[in-house]
Amino acid sequence: MSILSGISSFFGLDIGTTGIRAVELRGSGQSRALVKYAYVPVDAKLSQSDSKSDQQKLAQILANLISEARLSTKNVAVGLPGSRVFTAVVDFDRVPASDLPKAIMYQADSLIPTPPAESKIDWALLGDSPKDQTKQELLISSVPNNYVESRLDLIESIGLNVVAFEPDNIALSRALVPSGTAQPQLIIDMGQLTTDLIVTMADAPRLTRSIPTGIDAVLRSAVQNLNVDEKQAEQFVYKFGVSKDKLEGQVFQAIVGTLDMLVSEIDKSIKFFQARYPNTPIERMIVTGGASTIPEFPLYLANKFGVNVEIGNAWRNVSFAPERRNELLGVSSQFGVAVGLAERNE
Ligand SMILES: Nc1ncnc2c1ncn2[C@@H]1O[C@H](COP(=O)(O)OP(=O)(O)OP(=O)(O)O)[C@@H](O)[C@H]1O
Ligand SMILES: [Mg+2]
């Protein structure tokens, strides 16, 4: 650990629905070097369970991963899933900076969905409101205390030291969007149970939404409509994807209804964003999560929305030995959150 830079080492930790991922980087600023990354699959039923014994099992899996990974530090920055975090951009009175914390707490009840006394609240000023010249724009986010506390218990129970909690969507933006990008970018993180949408503009999130349609829903529609078991459905979906000419378009037909539910939610979010920021169209969609590996899914979105769609590269700001390129790109779709957490400036 350097005593001159003041940056103590820590690693990023993403406890996702289907796996736990850890990433440690070295250095600071725009490009950092990969020290270590680690992954262990987790059964979705286990990761989603609130029961004490399941939480202990999860802690044990995490402990094994950490000891096998031989990370250089016990300090950890932990992601908070989009489905648990509330985030909104609101117009707020132009009060003096020193009065802001008090003013926000005073109005918190009308700004966040959960009781303020039972929530961890955080905010950042974004600048002038695009809607109302007398106001400023405030990014506010909150998460229930009991969720943060249970995560803290789990992680501290195995001897780690939590240096920060951060919403997954902020970490993802840091990893996937080049800093200084002025035009709006829409990140689509399609995970196992949920799809998170994040519109970023000028290095700040402007809209986030968590939609309860993930890969699980896509696979279930394949099971039903193709009359196959889960394993086969997974093989079909990841092999043929959204291609209309593979297997006479049968897989496409089986899952298109579910995908179009998602498309319509994406469309709603874009319209919502555009109503607030009318003169800045979405420049690009960046797809990540398990679904970014579904063949032709990015192309399907590109055709639906008429914008550029790219597959997110979680390692875009990270340097590593060239011979590791294929290995790392192969896991890029599931490492965005952990990498973004590791890229924080502590
Ligand atoms: N090539 C592939 N073949 C089979 N399954 C794949 C492939 N690529 C990704 N997946 C699946 O993607 C899913 C995981 O997606 P992802 O890593 O985004 O989810 P997660 O982060 O665990 O979930 P969440 O973000 O909702 O908590 C898993 O079900 C995994 O098996
Ligand atoms: Mg995820």
Which ligand 1 atom is the nearest neighbour of the CA of 44? 22
The SS3 assignment for 324 reads: helix
In the DSSP assignment, the letter for residue 255 is H
* Rounded percentage of the chain residues whose pLDDT exceeds 70: 98
Residue among 280, 292, 114, 271 nearest 196 (CA): 292
Taking CA atoms only, the protein residue closest to ligand 1 atom 17 is 334
pLDDT band at 7 (very low <50, low <70, confident <90, very high): low
Going along the chain from its start, the domains and CATH numbers come out as 11-81+145-178+314-342 (3.30.420.40), 86-143 (3.30.1490.300), 211-308 (3.30.420.40)
CA of 236 to the centre of ligand 1 (A): 15
A 10 A CB-CB count for 311 gives: 15
CA of 92 to the centre of ligand 1 (A): 39
Taking CA atoms only, the protein residue closest to ligand 1 atom 12 is 290
Predicted confidence at residue 8, as pLDDT, reads 72
Taking CA atoms only, the protein residue closest to ligand 1 atom 11 is 290
Which ligand 1 atom is the nearest neighbour of the CA of 168? 25
Which ligand 1 atom is the nearest neighbour of the CA of 189? 18
Q: Report the C-alpha gap between 303 and 49 in whole angstroms.
A: 38
Question: What does residue 263 show for φ and ψ, rounded to 5 degrees?
Answer: -55, -40
Q: Best of 192, 218, 296 to mutate for ligand 1, by most ligand atoms within 8 A of CB?
A: 192
pLDDT band at 339 (very low <50, low <70, confident <90, very high): very high
Which ranges constitute the DSSP H helices of 32-187? 44-48, 52-69, 100-111, 145-156, 168-176
User: Looking at the predicted structure, is the pLDDT value of residue 4 above 70?
Assistant: no
Q: Report the C-alpha gap between 39 and 17 in whole angstroms.
A: 13
Q: Report the C-alpha gap between 288 and 272 in whole angstroms.
A: 22
Q: Report the C-alpha gap between 42 and 59 in whole angstroms.
A: 11
Contact residues of ligand 1, CB 6 A cut-off = 16-19, 81, 191-194, 214-215, 234, 238, 289-290, 293, 334
- Asked whether 186 and 282 are in contact (CB, 8 A), the reply is yes
* Per-residue model confidence as pLDDT tens digits over 205-260: 999 999 999 999 999 999 999 999 999 999 999 999 999 988 889 999 999 999 99
- Say which ligand is closest to the CA of 17: 1
CA of 19 to the centre of ligand 2 (A): 8
Residue among 61, 11, 58 nearest 37 (CA): 11
- Asked whether 59 and 42 are in contact (CB, 8 A), the reply is no
The SS3 assignment for 127 reads: strand
User: Looking at the predicted structure, is the pLDDT value of residue 344 above 60?
Assistant: yes
Q: Report the C-alpha gap between 289 and 274 in whole angstroms.
A: 25
What is the identity of the amino acid at 245?
D
CA 343 to chain centre: 14
Which ligand 1 atom is the nearest neighbour of the CA of 193? 26
CA of 34 to the centre of ligand 1 (A): 23
Predicted confidence at residue 146, as pLDDT, reads 95
What does DSSP say about strands 11-15 and 75-80: parallel, antiparallel, or unpaired?
parallel
Taking CA atoms only, the protein residue closest to ligand 1 atom 6 is 290
What is the identity of the amino acid at 108?
A
* Per-residue model confidence as pLDDT tens digits over 282-335: 999 999 999 999 999 999 999 999 999 999 999 999 999 999 999 999 999 999
- Say which ligand is closest to the CA of 211: 1
